[in-house]
Amino acid sequence: MIRNKPVPRHTLLLFLFQNDTIFAKNDTIDAMVKAQLTKRQNFILQVIDTLERASNQKILEKVSADFDKASRITVVRDLNSLLKKKLIKKSGEGRGVVYIANVPVLKRNFDENAYFAKAPDEREFKKERLNFDKSSIWENLFSAKEIEHVNSLTKQYQKRFSKYNPAQIKQELERITIEFSWKSSHIEGNTYTLLDTERLIKEHKEAKGKTHEEAVMILNHKKALEYVWANPKDFRTISVRKIEDLHSLISADLAIAKGLRRRGVGIIGTAYKPLDNIFQIGEALESLCKLVNGLGDPFLKALVAVSGISYIQPFEDGNKRTSRLIGNALLAAHNYCPLSYRSADEAEYKKAIILFYEQHSLAMFKKMFIEQYEFAVNNYFL
């Protein structure tokens, strides 16, 4: 167990708490996931995962139709290789044999180029809802190497942060606020440039040729982040009320209904349909909050909160913006460096979250989340 050193008290960001970093270290599955596979074997693994129980004939049909013309012998050879690597398991006998994926759903890797080469309505995706009640499927999300890397970055950040005075902290938080407000808005289609955003936040001047709504979206990010910076210890734990409060700030004056969603909602780029019943939405959000609060590691808390809120889509609009704010609130509350997402590719971000919606795989989003944390530590509070 690694105990992070406390950071001194100051007036802007109350990083007051020590934190126990707890991860269940189980790299056996990670090693299996990272085993060298051919593109066809990766495709077969994805077919088995999506179908959950796949016969030889169904796998052969899928490979021949969607990947390449392969003989039955070739497919059987690939299946035997996947069995040997323990990435799949076999059930039944004779013609009743089916194959089942043997990798935890959240860790399953996909060939993103092949996956997104298909149109949204052509992709097969998991119909069963993701369960936020089972903490066991979330606890082993990071490998030991990833844990070590994140902990090392966090120590670097905390050591540097402890040497900053209040004026320097204010200046650096303003920089993160500007860059986060720009990028988070940009992911949602806002056309402001980073320089436009800086001028808007610092000088309160809207950019020419841009809509007023775009300026409001950015300024709402600023207000919400300033609230987080001023009240970090409030987010040591999260609740439906706290998520709604941040959503209220991020959606102010944007003609977005307040409170939990009361109707269905569609998402561009995917056939995935979130829950459409307000009571079920509330229950799912409550389960997510309980899950996040029960996890031991702050970085894992943030990742699960960001992805979980995006998946549930509890509000009419502004869900991903709210999720990124909650993620930063959790990181700040536990003395971790907040993310600006400045170097994130918008298209890759959307692909990663859609892959989570459709296949429940967090592999791509997790990789991006770690990269953004690395970027943040290497670029802020230097």
Whole-number Å distance between alpha carbons of 220 and 133: 32
Q: How many domains does the chain have?
A: 2
For residue 22, pLDDT beyond 50: no
For residue 375, pLDDT beyond 90: yes
Q: Quickly state the pLDDT bin for 11 (edges 50, 70, 90).
A: very low
Q: Is residue 216 in a domain?
A: yes
Q: Is residue 202 in a domain?
A: yes
Whole-number Å distance between alpha carbons of 313 and 319: 6
What mean pLDDT is predicted for residues 246-258?
96
Q: Is the dihedral of CA 46, 47, 50, 54 positive or negative?
A: negative
- Indicate which CATH number applies to the domain containing 208: 1.10.3290.10
Same domain, residue pair 104 and 48: yes
Q: Quickly state the pLDDT bin for 34 (edges 50, 70, 90).
A: very low
Domain enclosing residue 96, as ranges: 28-109
**Residues 48-96 pLDDT 10s:** 877 778 888 888 888 888 777 788 888 889 999 999 888 888 888 888 8
Neighbours of 134 (CB within 10 A): 11
Same domain, residue pair 103 and 142: no
> Of 109, 128, 162, at which residue does a domain stop?
109
Which position has the token pair 């001047």?
205
Same domain, residue pair 281 and 212: yes
Same domain, residue pair 233 and 332: yes
Q: Is residue 221 in a domain?
A: yes
Higher pLDDT pick, 57 / 8: 57
| pLDDT for residue 185 | 98
What mean pLDDT is predicted for residues 247-273?
94
Three-state SS for the chain is: CEECCCCCCCCCCCCCCCCEECCCCCCHHHHHHCCCCCHHHHHHHHHHHHHCCEEHHHHHHHHHHHCCCCCHHHHHHHHHHHHHCCCEEEECCHHHCEEEECCCHHHCCCCHHHHCCCCHHHCCCCCCCCCCCCCHHHHCCCCHHHHHHHHHHHHHHHHHHCCCCHHHHHHHHHHHHHHHHHHHHHHCCCCCCHHHHHHHHHHCCCCCCCCHHHHHHHHHHHHHHHHHHHCHHHHCCCCHHHHHHHHHHHCCCCCCCCCCCCCCCCCCCCCCCCCCCHHHHHHHHHHHHHHHHHCCCHHHHHHHHHHHHHHHCCCCCCHHHHHHHHHHHHHHHCCCCCCCCCCCCHHHHHHHHHHHHHHCCCHHHHHHHHHHHHHHHHHCCC
What mean pLDDT is predicted for residues 120-132?
89
Q: Is residue 224 in a domain?
A: yes
| pLDDT for residue 135 | 82
Same domain, residue pair 77 and 184: no
**Residues 212-221 pLDDT 10s:** 999 999 999 9
| pLDDT for residue 29 | 41
Q: Which residues pair with 98 in a beta bridge?
A: 55, 91
What angle (nearest 5°) sits at the alpha carbon of residue 281, between those of residues 276 and 285?
155
Q: Is residue 11 in a domain?
A: no
Gyration radius of the chain's alpha carbons: 22
**Residues 277-306 pLDDT 10s:** 999 999 999 999 999 999 999 999 999 999
What mean pLDDT is predicted for residues 34-51?
78
- Indicate which CATH number applies to the domain containing 51: 1.10.10.10
Same domain, residue pair 158 and 77: no
Same domain, residue pair 207 and 88: no
Q: Is residue 21 in a domain?
A: no
**Residues 136-162 pLDDT 10s:** 889 889 988 999 999 999 999 999 999
Same domain, residue pair 203 and 296: yes
Same domain, residue pair 142 and 194: yes
Q: How is residue 162 written in tokens?
A: 């402890």
